[in-house]
């Protein structure tokens, strides 16, 4: 790493994986491990702040994984919002031509929404409202930069002990040229349980409204303390959505350009749809109204993030002047066929911003 050649570095192991990072970071504890890396907590001895450091191993073993990591670095370098996790540092362990590992240093958060939902910890109506407000506020800013997250789920919403929320994991994020742009994007996005109908029917165009659907699924999960649509596969997922919302009308299907999907939907038994009040007993009527406006089958009829913030359910928290839009836009639609040499150059450029 360019910086490590100039400064003292330290080495330690986390769950068998060797970390080689700036000596100012002192390890505390193992946090977790996934398909994209291993994470531990550390103390930055320069300022006594706790951070989370993610080590990504064999960055270039998969073109897709390399692009995911690069997009996240680009987005988080450019996004500064109190409801988006902050990237504080990036470290690479050797020269530009040989490095295989990347260390990303994030602000530390105590937990995530998935763990909180699964825990016995009670959640008051205000907890629910405050979580949703922060999620919407962060997404409004992201959408104003022309970024669609594309993988919103409780595990990607970090929570602190004081209930502050930060959106994380931008590896699947993409740029949109505006609502209903018609830009082609692969449908293999979003964890299935939070996947919008337009993705389930393999629509070859979609926009920011897919994030709205995911927010609705998360909203319902907070209220129910369990996933709303735990589908076993894409077709089962679609059937669960229709059973819940009711059989779509002809106008509800006008966004679908896949004839096989339309045939499948029309071949399903008639579904009346659930009684929302019975499904969510004791939930505030304004909360249910907002939820219903998010979980709309046809994306063209779905509420936007900006409109959701202006919904009466958010009136106690939303102040337009305190939720500004970004003044700049981003483009992270990197050519999927860019070579490794170019990718190395781009990673090196991102790391150089932190020196």
- Catalogue the active-site residues: 151
55 known member of a binding site: yes
Q: How many residues does the chain have?
A: 355
Rounded to 10 degrees, the C-alpha dihedral 161/120/14/42 comes to 10
Could you count the other beta carbons within 10 Å of the beta carbon of residue 330?
A: 18
Given a contact cutoff of 8 angstroms between Cβ atoms, the answer to whether 298 and 251 are in contact is yes
Q: Is residue 1 classed as helix, strand or coil in its secondary structure?
A: coil
Could you count the other beta carbons within 10 Å of the beta carbon of residue 64?
A: 9
For residues 25 and 18, what is the distance between their CA atoms, to the nearest angstrom? 14
| Residues contacting residue 293 through CB under 8 Å, at least 6 positions apart | 302, 303, 307, 308, 311
Question: What residue ranges in the chain does DSSP mark as E strands?
Answer: 9-14, 17-22, 25-34, 37-44, 49-56, 87-92, 102-107, 111-112, 147-148, 157-159, 165-167, 174-175
Q: Which helix (H) or strand (E) covers residue 211, if one does? A: helix 209-224
Given a contact cutoff of 8 angstroms between Cβ atoms, the answer to whether 251 and 301 are in contact is no
Given a contact cutoff of 8 angstroms between Cβ atoms, the answer to whether 20 and 93 are in contact is yes
For residues 89 and 51, what is the distance between their CA atoms, to the nearest angstrom? 10
- For residue 337, the 8-state DSSP code is T
- How distant, in Å, are the alpha carbons of 28, 204, 338 from that of 265? 52, 18, 39
For residues 310 and 312, what is the distance between their CA atoms, to the nearest angstrom? 6
Given a contact cutoff of 8 angstroms between Cβ atoms, the answer to whether 154 and 114 are in contact is yes
Residues annotated in a binding site for ATP? 55
């Amino acid at each position: 790493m360019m910086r490590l050649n100039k400064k003292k570095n330290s080495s330690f192991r986390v769950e068998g994986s060797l970390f080689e990072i700036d000596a100012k970071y002192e390890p505390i504890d193992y946090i977790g491990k996934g398909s994209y890396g291993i994470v531990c907590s550390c103390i930055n001895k320069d300022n006594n702040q706790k951070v989370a450091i993610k080590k990504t191993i064999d960055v270039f073993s998969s073109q897709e994984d390399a692009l995911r990591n690069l997009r996240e670095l680009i987005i988080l370098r450019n996004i500064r919002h109190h409801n988006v996790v902050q990237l504080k540092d990036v470290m690479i362990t050797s020269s530009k031509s040989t490095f295989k590992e990347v260390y990303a240093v994030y602000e530390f958060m105590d937990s995530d929404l998935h763990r909180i939902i699964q825990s016995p910890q009670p959640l008051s109506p205000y907890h629910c409202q405050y979580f949703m407000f922060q999620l919407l506020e962060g997404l409004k800013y992201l959408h104003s930069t022309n970024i669609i997250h594309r993988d919103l789920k409780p595990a990607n919403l970090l929570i602190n002990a004081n209930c502050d929320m930060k959106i994380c994991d931008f590896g699947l994020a993409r740029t949109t040229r505006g609502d209903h742009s018609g830009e082609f994007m692969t449908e293999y996005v979003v964890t299935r349980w939070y996947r919008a109908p337009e993705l389930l029917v393999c629509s070859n165009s979609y926009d920011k409204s897919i994030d709205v659907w995911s927010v609705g699924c998360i909203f319902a999960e907070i209220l129910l303390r369990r996933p709303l649509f735990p589908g076993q596969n894409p077709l089962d997922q679609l059937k669960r959505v229709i059973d819940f919302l009711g059989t779509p009308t002809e106008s509800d299907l006008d966004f679908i350009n896949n004839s096989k999907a339309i045939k499948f939907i029309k071949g399903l038994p008639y579904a009346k749809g659930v009684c929302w009040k019975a499904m969510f007993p004791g939930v505030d009527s304004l909360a249910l109204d907002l939820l219903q406006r998010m979980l709309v089958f046809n994306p063209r009829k779905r509420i936007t993030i900006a409109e959701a913030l202006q919904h009466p359910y958010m009136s106690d928290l939303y102040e337009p002047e305190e939720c500004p839009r970004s003044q700049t836009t981003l483009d992270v639609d990197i050519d999927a066929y860019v070579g490794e040499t170019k990718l190395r150059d781009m990673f090196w450029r991102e790391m150089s911003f932190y020196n």
